[in-house]
Structure 1
Amino acid sequence: MAEVLKIAVAGLGTVGAGVVSLLQKNGDLIAQRCGRHVTVTAVSARDKAKDRGCDLTGMTWFDDAVTMAREADCDLFVEQIGGSEGIAKEACEAALSSGKHVVTANKALLAVHGTALARLAEENGVSLNYEAAVAGGIPIIKAMREGLAGNRINSVQGILNGTCNYILTTMRETGRAYADVLAEAQALGYAEADPSFDVDGVDAAHKLAILAALAFGREVDFDGVHIEGISRIAAVDIQYAEELGFRVKLLGMAEAHDDGVMQRVHPVLVKGDAPIAAVEGVFNGVVMEGDAVGTSVLEGRGAGAGPTASAVVGDIMDIAAGRFVPVFGVPVSALQPAASLSMDRRFGAYYVRLRVIDKPGVIAGVTAALRDEKVSMESIIQRGRDPNEPVDVVLTLHETTEAAMNRALQRIMDLDAVIEPPHMIRIER
């Protein structure tokens, strides 16, 4: 059997400690499958005295992760610190520059600095693996980078944040309001005390930027992602969506066009029988369209100690077995410059809910505003009559550009009878 692969682990939180425990628990099986033993020789975390729930006997302790990355007796550096800047970035740069392989679950770091880190890994002849950074235990990176390598990927979309998916699923199943379900998600540990990173769409956008780079052979461009969260989704919109045959999901979507790539994260209505509609609760799901394979769907747990540690250990085993693949599927020199298309170019259908004063001529004014921007109505829901009182009017609109839709919504908002900003959700067919 080949020489032992020595590992240093930075960050001993839930996932980092889970990685150490999994390597110890399944050590013999891992050695059989990758042809060499894997052992943790060094660790680093903020509090040495804290019980991590794993055996650290015989491991060298470092108070500073950057120093460990440079000086530890190891072949591979596992980064579980998190964050796009600071120690995580410095430690990964130090490890790569020192000729050590790096495995990370840090999607923020890769979304912001992925191209530069890929270049550094390539220059030093080492691997940078990141399966756990996107969709947790779903092997989406390996599927795209290796299994579908012979395909030209046309689009990738997915439910990339389990917190948002749990909230939207629970709102649909119970009819409860967003704020109420968010509080429950926090109590259950599915959402942080400050949930903005998840519910504002930033976490999903980090992951989408990575998938877009891998799918289309382009430089990572997080700044080019259009981002919207779920906080404006009302229970009534989810109910109307169900009535119309749709479900509301927060999707990350990237599509290749002749002159660039459109990257966007926002709530959408998807048909109830679409594969992605069946991904519920805290689960993640990714749908890819390849020119040879057609549609591929992967679903699984997107977070948690077990699934994430499993993905990290899978990356470690690839390196132990000598399976090396370019970070984003092609050499850094072959990555195309980022060319992200404006959201105004989005072409698709729309759902709009209006809150209006019920009086004669309201619908005529709305249809005139749509007509002036050449936006065609597909359906309308207005129940009952309550003269001179607020009522809901729900529209679905045929495919048009985002720019035309926004102009039409502004015209509608300017109508005297419209008393709230229109509630718009894009429809993905």
Structure 2
Amino acid sequence: MRTRPLKVALLGCGVVGSEVARIMTTHADDLTQRIGAPVELAGVAVRRPSKVREGIDPALITTDATALLKRGDIDVAIEVIGGIEPARTLITTAFEHGISVVSANKALLAQDGAALHAAAEQHGLDLYYEAAVAGAIPLVRPMRESLAGDKINRVMGIVNGTTNFILDKMDSTGAGYQEALDEATALGYAEADPTADVEGYDAAAKAAILAGIAFHTRVRLDDVYREGMTEVSAADFASAKRMGCTIKLLAILERAADGESVTARVHPAMIPLTHPLASVREAYNAVFVEAEAAGRLMFYGPGAGGSPTASAVLGDLVAVCRNKLAEATGPGESAYTQLPVSPMGDVVTRYHISLDVADKPGVLAQVATTFAEHGVSIDTVRQQGRPDGVGNEASLVVVTHRAPDAALSGTVEALRKLDTVRGVASIMRVEGE
């Protein structure tokens, strides 16, 4: 066994970084045996050096991350800063100085993954990022290594714990969105500013990364269609239950039937209670992968938090260190298919549409005609009086058959223009059937 330690620079020491440092210290002997050489925390770059960091030698703390990377003795850098800058510059600096990188930075990888992979390849180094998607769940490595010989056709998953917690509370308790968000905030699941989570930006970044791996093509954050979940209401859950469904914020990645394009999208959707994702509760994540030979696979577990995310980081660290000892590198970017990403309008799906309409004869026929004019077939219709007791209005719920999303969107716009339609109360896609 090699006796000279592999030296690690830790960039960032927040919730995840501090847990990485703790595990590296407390499990040092086990890590040595698993890697084949000692691994040593050689420096920790932070913004606030005065902050007390229990278990970390103050002598390791520095505010100059660039100088730490340029020391000349660092083997691996762990980037858990997050955001685009200075993370991008620091990762590039690491590669320029012969340092492999382990990152948990979903936003950066979704935006500039291709350039970072190219830089790693140019310098003969590793870029690993299991922790960037779904926390502790082993997902990136199984998809890009274990399923490397298979053809993945579809990936559908819950990849944000905050939104799943909120939607689960709305489903199980009947709470409204704001009430469920307040509980998530009080318990520490939601940030003070939850926009990245509830508007789907976090999930969209993860979707871009997963789509690139699944389909061997480059998918950027801008390619992912995104809708948030702030408009989901208790009434939507009541409708979902009548259909035997629940509501989840889903990342859905699909290869077209002809194999010539892919789609990537994030939005709330109704899914049947019989689907495996319907039973994912609280702040857990789960990803459902459909592959040609392997069939349907489910990956489930805690998708965020210091310890779960640190677990994924340390798994990557072990792999990268082993590669260093073997003077080899692991798998890099696979984008040979160069498939285009189709717009959301090309996606074929079902809709659940709730309308507030005039309560008078002929309304249903007028609505049905509008659907027919746009080539959208209706599956079921339910009409009832308004629950708020408005006597001259009714609630009309329409569930469609599968149709292109563009046709469904066009139908909704036409419905809004009808004199008999007072308003479109809710629009939601139906998936997983």
Q: TM-score, normalised by structure 2?
A: 0.94
Q: Which residue of 2 aligns with 1:411?
A: 414
Q: How much has 1:135 moved relative to structure 2?
A: 0.2
Q: Which residue of 2 aligns with 1:78?
A: 78
Q: How much has 1:163 moved relative to structure 2?
A: 0.7
Q: Distance in 1 between matches of 2:351 and 2:255?
A: 21
Q: How much has 1:57 moved relative to structure 2?
A: 5.2
Q: Distance in 1 between matches of 2:260 and 2:157?
A: 23
Q: How much has 1:66 moved relative to structure 2?
A: 2.5
Q: Which runs of 5+ in 2 are unaligned?
A: none
**1:117 alignment partner AA:** L
Q: Pairwise mapping of residues 90-239 of structure 1 onto structure 2 (< 5 A)?
A: 90-239=89-238
Aligned length in residues: 423
Q: Please tell me whether the aligned partners of residues 111 and 222 of structure 1 are also in contact (alpha carbons under 8 angstroms).
A: yes
Q: Distance in 1 between matches of 2:13 and 2:300?
A: 27
Q: Pairwise mapping of residues 327-342 of structure 1 onto structure 2 (< 5 A)?
A: 327-328=332-333, 330=334, 334-337=335-338, 339-342=340-343
**Equivalent residue of 2:268, what SS?**
strand
Q: Distance in 2 between matches of 1:270 and 1:342?
A: 22
Q: Distance in 1 between matches of 2:390 and 2:99?
A: 72
Q: Distance in 1 between matches of 2:430 and 2:353?
A: 10
**Equivalent residue of 1:419, what SS?**
strand
Q: Distance in 2 between matches of 1:299 and 1:382?
A: 39
Q: How much has 1:383 moved relative to structure 2?
A: 3.0
Q: Pairwise mapping of residues 326-405 of structure 1 onto structure 2 (< 5 A)?
A: 326-328=331-333, 330=334, 334-337=335-338, 339-384=340-385, 388-405=391-408
**Equivalent residue of 1:71, what SS?**
coil
Q: Distance in 1 between matches of 2:72 and 2:180?
A: 45
Q: How much has 1:55 moved relative to structure 2?
A: 2.3
**Equivalent residue of 1:420, what SS?**
strand
Q: Please tell me whether the aligned partners of residues 409 and 422 of structure 1 are also in contact (alpha carbons under 8 angstroms).
A: no
Q: Distance in 1 between matches of 2:131 and 2:265?
A: 21
**Equivalent residue of 1:415, what SS?**
coil
Q: Please tell me whether the aligned partners of residues 352 and 427 of structure 2 are also in contact (alpha carbons under 8 angstroms).
A: yes
Change (3 A) 1:9 1:415: same
| CA deviation map 1:109-128 (0-9, x unaligned) | 10001000000001101100
Q: Which residue of 1 aligns with 2:69?
A: 69
**1:211 alignment partner AA:** L
Q: How much has 1:73 moved relative to structure 2?
A: 2.8
Whether 2:18 is the aligned partner of 1:17: answer yes
Q: Pairwise mapping of residues 222-301 of structure 1 onto structure 2 (< 5 A)?
A: 222-257=221-256, 258-301=259-302
* Aligned match for 1:421, one of 420, 424, 429: 424
- Shifted more, 353-362 versus 126-135: the winner is 353-362
**1:228 alignment partner AA:** E
Q: Distance in 2 between matches of 1:105 and 1:364?
A: 53
Q: Distance in 1 between matches of 2:204 and 2:72?
A: 34
| CA deviation map 1:261-284 (0-9, x unaligned) | 101001111111111111111000
**Equivalent residue of 1:379, what SS?**
strand
**Equivalent residue of 1:421, what SS?**
strand
Q: Please tell me whether the aligned partners of residues 318 and 324 of structure 1 are also in contact (alpha carbons under 8 angstroms).
A: no
Q: Please tell me whether the aligned partners of residues 8 and 72 of structure 1 are also in contact (alpha carbons under 8 angstroms).
A: no
**1:247 alignment partner AA:** T
Q: Please tell me whether the aligned partners of residues 49 and 62 of structure 2 are also in contact (alpha carbons under 8 angstroms).
A: no
Q: Distance in 1 between matches of 2:282 and 2:393?
A: 34
Percent identical across equivalent pairs?
39
Q: Please tell me whether the aligned partners of residues 130 and 315 of structure 1 are also in contact (alpha carbons under 8 angstroms).
A: yes
Q: How much has 1:72 moved relative to structure 2?
A: 5.7
**Equivalent residue of 1:231, what SS?**
coil
Q: Which residue of 2 aligns with 1:316?
A: 317
Q: Distance in 2 between matches of 1:72 and 1:220?
A: 35
Q: How much has 1:360 moved relative to structure 2?
A: 2.2
Q: Please tell me whether the aligned partners of residues 66 and 87 of structure 1 are also in contact (alpha carbons under 8 angstroms).
A: no
**Equivalent residue of 1:314, what SS?**
helix
**Equivalent residue of 1:158, what SS?**
strand
**1:301 alignment partner AA:** P
Q: Please tell me whether the aligned partners of residues 358 and 387 of structure 1 are also in contact (alpha carbons under 8 angstroms).
A: no
Q: Distance in 2 between matches of 1:426 and 1:298?
A: 23
Q: TM-score, normalised by structure 1?
A: 0.95
- Shifted more, 283-292 versus 368-377: the winner is 368-377
Q: Which residue of 2 aligns with 1:325?
A: 330
**Equivalent residue of 1:383, what SS?**
strand
Q: Please tell me whether the aligned partners of residues 11 and 81 of structure 1 are also in contact (alpha carbons under 8 angstroms).
A: yes
**1:327 alignment partner AA:** G
Q: Which runs of 5+ in 1 are unaligned?
A: none
**1:133 alignment partner AA:** A
- Shifted more, 371-380 versus 222-231: the winner is 371-380
**Equivalent residue of 1:24, what SS?**
helix
Q: Please tell me whether the aligned partners of residues 7 and 75 of structure 2 are also in contact (alpha carbons under 8 angstroms).
A: yes
